[in-house]
């Protein structure tokens, strides 16, 4: 599914076509499954030691990639960041606990910018 987003900034209009994030769970599962397959291959005595070292390095990279795959969609993360920013505007205690209003605003804007041009 593609969305068309029209952006306005001080009278300037631009457009971006964005692909909605789907299947993050499936992607993470695939990364982990592939890492486990390669991990199992390192126990095969027929595979030379130098090849096993390459497999182990690849397993490490896949494990790290599986850790950084966001479990929440970008739209949900933006919604949560907007909610936090809105709360911080009216609740100084909440703002202080989360690094201040400006930090929450920056976090929200960074997410939106990544979503716009992602």
- Digit-coded pLDDT (tens) for 34-64: 888 889 998 989 999 999 999 999 988 888 8
Residues with pLDDT less than 50, the chain: 1-22
Q: What is residue 64's predicted lDDT score, i.e. its pLDDT? A: 83
Q: What is residue 105's predicted lDDT score, i.e. its pLDDT? A: 93
Q: DSSP readout, 8-49?
A: EETTEEEEEEEEPP--HHHHHHHHHHHHHHHHHHTT-TTS-H
Q: What is residue 77's predicted lDDT score, i.e. its pLDDT? A: 82
Q: Specify whether the CB–CB gap between 95 and 104 falls below 8 A.
A: yes
Torsion angle defined by CA atoms of residues 42, 43, 46 and 48, in that order, rounded to the nearest 10 degrees: 40
Q: What is residue 20's predicted lDDT score, i.e. its pLDDT? A: 37
pTM: 0.42
């Amino acid at each position: 599914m593609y969305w068309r987003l029209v952006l306005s900034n001080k009278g300037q209009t631009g457009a971006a076509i964005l692909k909605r994030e789907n299947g993050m769970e499936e992607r993470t599962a695939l990364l982990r499954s592939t890492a486990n397959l390669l991990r199992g291959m390192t126990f095969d005595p027929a595979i030379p030691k130098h090849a096993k070292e390459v497999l182990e390095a690849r397993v490490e990279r896949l494990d790290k990639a599986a850790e950084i795959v966001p479990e929440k969609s970008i739209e949900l993360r933006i919604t949560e960041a907007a909610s936090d920013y809105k709360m911080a505007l009216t609740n100084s205690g909440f703002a202080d606990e989360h690094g201040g209003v400006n930090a929450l605003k920056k976090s929200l804007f960074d997410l939106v910018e990544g979503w716009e041009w992602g």
